């Protein structure tokens, strides 16, 4: 029986991966590894891994070999299109069959000791969809300075913005954003910034539909500045035990924001365009 799954979400390139991995080292959490993508029809392999994690020495080796993953091939087996929808997934998108399939499949991942399911999604929040499937789920929204996110997107091989909005995953540009892109001569830096704004807009709408007790928002920069205090607060929100052993594990992780890299890697003109496009959204998120 799945009880209060914890779901991390963010725009991508926002620090969700490092938080996912540090939380996955908590002994109460079960999570998806690369085994779920390699064998999406055999969740028992991943469950065997969860059992093996609790053995001394072997567990540490297996955590390094099979780190926590988003498992989109696994998700798509339960609900086709989960990984690449053209808009956010909502509660109204949940079919009876999808809910039954997801709950049945995900329940095969947990063990008696690791009875709390930990999940991570990036891009669209999908919180409406997921809260409809997992009653009582808790959500952690990781926010990072949009300028750092944009610079990171431009340097990864999976960003699809180079083909223009017609070929990416985020649907057509809203009229105001289309005009913004045109005004900036269809700059790819600006297009990556607009992607961040589209996903942050979706997250803002999604959060309004959740009870405030079920969602925690945290800045990646705060985690980097005070990792132990931040993780202690997150553990409290997730209702898992904070122990000396887990605190020691948290201290072994390295948290680096690298938020200022864009100042060296983008031209002054590109930085000015970035500031122009992102200023209102950055201010709303508490960034100067």
CATH classification of the domain holding 151: 3.40.50.300
Asked if the structure places residue 102 within a domain, the reply is yes
Cα distance between residue 23 and residue 25, in whole Å: 5
Residue 39 lies in a domain: yes
Q: Helix (H, G, I), strand (E, B), or coil: what is residue 6?
A: strand
Tens digits of residue pLDDT in 96-136: 999 999 999 999 999 999 999 999 999 999 999 999 999 99
Residue 13 counted as domain residue: yes
Range of the domain at 195: 6-284
Whether 27 maps to a domain, the answer reads: yes
Q: Does residue 12 lie within any of the structural domains? A: yes
Distances (CA, A) of 188 to 145, 183, 263: 18, 12, 17
> Which residues are within 8 A (CB) of 163 and not within 5 positions of it... i.e. 6 or more apart?
none
For residue 156, tell me if it sits in a domain: yes
pLDDT band at 288 (very low <50, low <70, confident <90, very high): confident
| Residue 1, pLDDT above cutoff 80 | no
Q: Assess if residue 67 is contained within a domain.
A: yes
* Domain count for the chain: 1
**pTM beyond 0.95, yes or no:** yes
Q: What is the pLDDT of residues 51-73, one digit of tens each?
A: 999 999 999 999 999 999 999 99
The string of pLDDT tens digits covering residues 157-180 is: 999 999 999 999 999 999 999 999
**What stretches of the chain adopt beta strand conformation (E)?**
6-10, 29-31, 116-122, 138-143, 215-219
The dihedrals phi and psi of 10, each to the nearest 5 degrees, come to: -175, 180
| 1 located within any domain | no
Q: Which residues pair with 6 in a beta bridge?
A: 118, 138
For residue 43 the two structure tokens come to: 């969740």
Residues 6+ apart with CB under 8 A from 259: 144, 145, 147, 148, 221
Let me know: does 138 contact 238? Beta carbons within 8 Å: yes
């Amino acid at each position: 029986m799945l009880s209060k799954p914890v779901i991390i979400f963010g725009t991508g390139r926002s620090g969700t991966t490092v938080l996912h991995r540090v939380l996955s080292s908590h002994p109460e959490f079960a999570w998806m590894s690369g085994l779920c993508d390699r064998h999406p029809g055999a969740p028992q392999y991943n469950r065997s891994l969860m059992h093996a994690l609790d053995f001394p020495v072997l567990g540490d080796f297996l955590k390094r070999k099979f780190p926590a993953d988003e498992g989109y091939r696994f998700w798509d087996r339960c609900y086709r299109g989960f990984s690449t929808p053209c808009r956010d997934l909502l509660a109204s998108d949940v079919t009876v069959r999808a809910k039954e399939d997801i709950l049945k499949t995900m329940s095969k991942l947990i063990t008696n000791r690791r009875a709390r399911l930990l999940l991570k999604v990036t891009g669209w929040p999908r919180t409406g969809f997921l809260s409809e499937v997992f009653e009582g789920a808790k959500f952690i929204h990781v926010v990072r300075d949009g300028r750092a996110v944009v610079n990171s997107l431009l340097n990864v091989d999976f960003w699809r913005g180079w083909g223009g909005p017609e070929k990416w995953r985020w649907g057509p540009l809203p009229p105001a954003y289309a005009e913004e892109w045109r005004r900036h001569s269809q700059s790819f830096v600006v297009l990556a910034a607009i992607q961040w704004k589209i996903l942050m807009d979706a997250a803002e709408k999604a959060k309004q539909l959740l009870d405030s007790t079920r969602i925690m928002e945290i800045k990646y920069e705060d985690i980097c500045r005070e990792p132990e205090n931040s993780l202690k607060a997150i553990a409290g929100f997730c209702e898992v035990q904070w122990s000396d052993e887990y605190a020691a594990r948290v201290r072994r992780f390295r948290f680096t924001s690298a938020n200022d890299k864009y100042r060296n890697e983008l031209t002054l003109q590109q930085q000015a365009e970035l500031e122009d496009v992102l200023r209102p959204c950055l201010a709303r998120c508490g960034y100067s």
